[in-house]
Amino acid sequence: MSTRAAQSEQQGWFRGIDLFSQLAGPISQLTRLQQSLLFAELSQIAYMPPEPALTCVRKIGFTESVYFDRDGAQAYRFRNSHDCVVVCRGTEPHEWNDVKADANAVAVLAETIGRVHSGFKQEVDDLWPMLGHTLKDYDGPLWFAGHSLGGAMATICAGRCKVSDICPNLEGLFTYGSPRVGDRAYVNHCRLVHYRWVNNNDIVTRVPPTWLGYCHSGREMYIDSKGRVRDVEGWRRMVDRLRGFLRGLRRFNIDHFSDHSIEQYIASIHAAVQKQQLAMTRKSRRRSRIAAM
């Protein structure tokens, strides 16, 4: 590829991408929704080539960006003076290694207890010598995030840090549209502060199937068919998913696939953050009026 073509390709990553997060201190000072928006945006940035990714994370408030790539398994490490974030890159359909990882649903023994998806584990095994080396001397707050396959990889990476002495300050894990990673024994052993985002009918969150022994981990954060962050369970969840499916059909769209888009996750979480900030502003104004009486 020529230099001009490469520059054009990298510039294309900026078109249509709005960054809403901006750090002014430690990530721990953000609300849970603000953290979720930040990590969703970082998961989107993880799909970018290194140069535009660095430009974007600098706008957010990170000063360092390190890109890891081995045999198609990819991740970024973003750092500033307060935090370190490892974001694993999700599935890219044109990358054979990603397709192979998604398809290989055979469960294999984890390093600790239980079994994990062999394809996801292999992706992490490819990266771990580099990731483990760069994290072993870091003692600050550490976060993991990822979308799709990247969410599964981030879950395994965070689990390895949790049960080892590589980084003692594991703060949390945020995943978006992540498939199931391991069996119940593995999930129960690697207990993490994990916020697992699911967008309505996102089909990837339903695989591998439970009848193969797989189960989800973490606290589910559900986005309903109208893009609202809500707790919807049981028959109400079934009705909401049907509503989302029918809405998609009216748009000539199968939402089981479109709901997997990281852009949709970002849009819904951003709307929830705006709603939260508006409520906080109103509450603050009421307190000010009461104090002035």
pLDDT at 119: 87
Residue 10's φ and ψ, nearest 5 degrees, are: -70, -40
pLDDT bracket for residue 7 (50, 70, 90) = very low
Residue 21 lies in a domain: no
Taking the C-alpha atoms of residue 237 and residue 259, their distance in angstroms, rounded to an integer, is 15
Cα 293 to its chain centre, rounded Å, is 46
Taking the C-alpha atoms of residue 90 and residue 177, their distance in angstroms, rounded to an integer, is 10
Which candidate, 243, 248, 264, places its Cα nearest to that of 176? 264
pLDDT in tens, 222-251: 999 999 999 988 889 899 988 888 888 888
pLDDT at 217: 92
Sign of the torsion formed by the C-alpha atoms of 288, 289, 292 and 293: negative
Number of structural domains in the chain:
1
pLDDT bracket for residue 166 (50, 70, 90) = confident
Residue 197 lies in a domain: yes
Residue with tokens 């949709």: 264
What is the domain-level CATH number for residue 193? 3.40.50.1820
**Do 124 and 157 form a contact (C-beta atoms < 8 A)?**
yes
pLDDT in tens, 23-61: 999 999 999 999 999 999 999 999 999 999 999 999 999
Residue 96 pLDDT greater than 90, yes or no: no
Residue 57 lies in a domain: yes
Residue 91 pLDDT greater than 90, yes or no: no
**Per-chain mean pLDDT for the chain:** 86
Residue 215 pLDDT greater than 80, yes or no: yes
**Do 212 and 107 form a contact (C-beta atoms < 8 A)?**
yes
Residue 86 lies in a domain: yes
**Do 139 and 171 form a contact (C-beta atoms < 8 A)?**
no
pLDDT at 99: 36
Residue 159 pLDDT greater than 60, yes or no: yes
pLDDT at 112: 62
Taking the C-alpha atoms of residue 48 and residue 44, their distance in angstroms, rounded to an integer, is 8
Q: Which of 18-22, 38-42, 279-283 has the lowest mean pLDDT?
A: 279-283
Residue 218 pLDDT greater than 70, yes or no: yes
Taking the C-alpha atoms of residue 243 and residue 224, their distance in angstroms, rounded to an integer, is 9
pLDDT in tens, 116-157: 888 899 999 999 999 988 898 888 999 999 999 999 999 999
Residue 170 lies in a domain: yes
Q: What mean pLDDT do residues 18-24 have?
A: 94
> Where do the DSSP E strands lie in 63-206?
64-70, 73-79, 84-88, 107-109, 115-117, 142-147, 170-176, 182-183, 194-199
Q: What mean pLDDT do residues 74-102 have?
A: 75
Taking the C-alpha atoms of residue 271 and residue 276, their distance in angstroms, rounded to an integer, is 9
Residue 81 pLDDT greater than 80, yes or no: yes
Residue 264 lies in a domain: yes
Residue with tokens 């940035």: 45
Which range marks the domain in which residue 79 is found? 27-292
Residue with tokens 């709307």: 271
